[in-house]
Chain A
Amino acid sequence: KAGVTQTPRYLIKTRGQQVTLSCSPISGHRSVSWYQQTPGQGLQFLFEYFSETQRNKGNFPGRFSGRQFSNSRSEMNVSTLELGDSALYLCASSLEPTGGGQETQYFGPGTRLLVL
Chain B
Amino acid sequence: SQKIEQNSEALNIQEGKTATLTCNYTNYSPAYLQWYRQDPGRGPVFLLLIRENEKEKRKERLKVTFDTTLKQSLFHITASQPADSATYLCALEPSNTDKLIFGTGTRLQVFP
Contacts and interface: CB of A to CB of B under 8 A. Distances in A.
Interface of A: 4, 33, 35, 41-45, 48, 55-56, 58, 90, 92, 97-102, 104-110
Nearest to B100: A98
B46 A101 contact: no
Contact of B32 (A42, A90, A101): A101
B43 A4 contact: yes
Given A101-B30, A102-B32, A104-B49, A56 B98 contact: yes
Nearest to A50: B98
Interface stretch (B14-22, B57-65, B74-82, B101-109): B101-109
B46 A106 contact: yes
Interface string B68-110: 0000000000000000000001011100011111111100000
> Which of B31, B42, B44 has the largest number of chain A CB atoms within 10 A?
B44
Interface residues of B, number: 27
Contacts of B102: 35, 42-44
Nearest to A92: B43
Given A106-B46, A107-B43, A110-B42, A100 B93 contact: yes
Given A45-B100, A98-B98, A104-B49, A109 B31 contact: no
A70 B41 CA distance: 30
B28 to A, nearest CB: 10
Contact of B97 (A56, A106, A107, A109): A56
B45 interface: yes
A42 B105 contact: yes
A100 B100 CA distance: 9
B104 A104 contact: no
A45 B101 contact: yes
B108 to A, nearest CB: 16
A104 B46 contact: yes
A110 B31 contact: no
B11 to A, nearest CB: 17
Nearest to A46: B99
A112 B112 CA distance: 32
Top 3 A-B residue pairs of the complex, sorted by shortest distance between their CB atoms: A107-B43, A101-B93, A42-B104
